[in-house]
Structure 1
Amino acid sequence: ILGFLGIFIYFLLENFALQFTQAANVGLYMGAIPLFTAIFAHFFTKDEKLSRSVVIGFLVAIVGIALILLDGASFQLRLKGDLLALSAAVVFALYSVALKLAPKGYHYIVITRKSFFYGLLLMVIYFLISGKSFHYHSLAITTVWLNILFLGLISSGLAFILWQQGIERIGSINASNYIYLVPLITAIAGIIALNEKLTLKMILGGVTILIGLYIAQKKSSQISN
Structure 2
Amino acid sequence: MKHVSHPMSPLEWAMLFGLSLVWGGSFFFVAIAVTELPPMTIALARVGGAALILLLVLRFLGIKMPRSKTVWLAFLGMGLINNVIPFSLIFWAQTELASGVASILNAMTPIFTVIAAHFLTQDEQMSRGRIAGVVLGFTGVFILMGGGVGMEGKLLPHLAILGAGISYAFASIFGKRFARLGVPPLATATGQVCASTMILVPVVMTLDQPWLLPLPSAHVVWALTGLTVLSTAFAYFLYFRILSTAGATNLALVTFIIPPSAILLGVMVLGEVLSWNQIAGLAVIGAGLAAIDGRIFGLWRR
CA RMSD of aligned residues (A): 4.1
Provide structure 1 residue ranges, at least 5 long, that are not aligned to the other structure.
none
Match of 1:39 in 2: 115
Tell me the amino acid that sits aligned with residue 261 of structure 2: I
142-151 or 92-101, which moves further after superposition? 142-151
Which of these residues, 248, 257, 271, is aligned with residue 170 of structure 1? Answer: 248
Is the Cα contact below 8 Å between 1:65 and 1:205 reproduced in 2?
yes
- SS of 1:10's partner is helix
1:119 aligns with 2:206: no
Is the Cα contact below 8 Å between 2:107 and 2:285 reproduced in 1?
no
**Separation (CA, whole Å) in 1 of partners of 2:237 and 2:90:** 20
CA-to-partner distance for each residue in 1:103-142, whole Å, 9 max, x for gaps? Answer: 3522221111111111012111101122544456526x54
1:182 aligns with 2:258: yes
Match of 1:2 in 2: 78
Match of 2:127 in 1: 51
How much does 1:76 deviate?
A: 0.9
- SS of 2:178's partner is coil
Is the Cα contact below 8 Å between 1:34 and 1:177 reproduced in 2?
no
118-127 or 8-17, which moves further after superposition? 8-17
Query: Given the two structures, how large is their TM-score scaled by the length of structure 2?
Result: 0.55
How much does 1:77 deviate?
A: 5.5
**Percent of aligned positions that are identical:** 21
Match of 2:151 in 1: 76
Tell me the amino acid that sits aligned with residue 133 of structure 2: G
Alignment CA distance shift 1:28-1:144 (3 Å): closer
Alignment CA distance shift 1:18-1:52 (3 Å): same
Alignment CA distance shift 1:129-1:17 (3 Å): same
Is the Cα contact below 8 Å between 1:99 and 1:167 reproduced in 2?
no
Alignment CA distance shift 1:41-1:151 (3 Å): same
CA-to-partner distance for each residue in 1:144-188, whole Å, 9 max, x for gaps? Answer: 4322221001112233454567778426xx866753543223233
Tell me the amino acid that sits aligned with residue 86 of structure 1: L
Which of these residues, 206, 221, 227, is aligned with residue 129 of structure 1? Answer: 206
Is the Cα contact below 8 Å between 2:111 and 2:289 reproduced in 1?
no
Alignment CA distance shift 1:167-1:38 (3 Å): farther
Alignment CA distance shift 1:177-1:49 (3 Å): farther
Alignment CA distance shift 1:102-1:210 (3 Å): same
Alignment CA distance shift 1:86-1:201 (3 Å): closer
